[in-house]
Amino acid sequence: MKFGIMVNEGPYQHQASDTAYLFAKAVLAKGHEIYRVFFYHDGVNNGTRLTVPPQDDRNIVNRWSELAAKHGIDLVVCVAAAQRRGILDESEAKRHGRDANNIAAGFRISGLGQLVEAGIQADRLVVFGD
């Protein structure tokens, strides 16, 4: 079975990102496929490389990056939600006259069309968070 995953909450303010990550790991362990993980609303905060949790805490951003690298998962951050929260890739930073970007490894910025496509291509689209 092919899954699309949508994450609507940030990495440390709600359990949605942790739950989505653990769900993704379980899906892969059972031999299923993840078509795409789409981060929307405050969920885009999962895609910033500037997150620095305490050493004794889990690093949710790194967990997503490592999972994507290991399994070739497409991690997409909504462009409009990301811009509102100051999350930019190199292209968006340049386009808006900013001198830096902060997108984490394995993540990319794109539009809502990527969410629609995930809903069409996946057998199930599972949403985590409000």
3-state SS assignment for residue 31: coil
Point out the catalytic residue in the list 78, 79, 103, 104.
Answer: 78
Could you tell me how many helices (H) and strands (E) the chain has, helices first? 5, 5
Quick one: which H or E segment has residue 76? strand 75-78
Active site residue 78: yes
Cite the DSSP H helix spans in the chain. 16-29, 60-71, 79-84, 90-95, 113-121
Residues annotated as part of the active site: 78
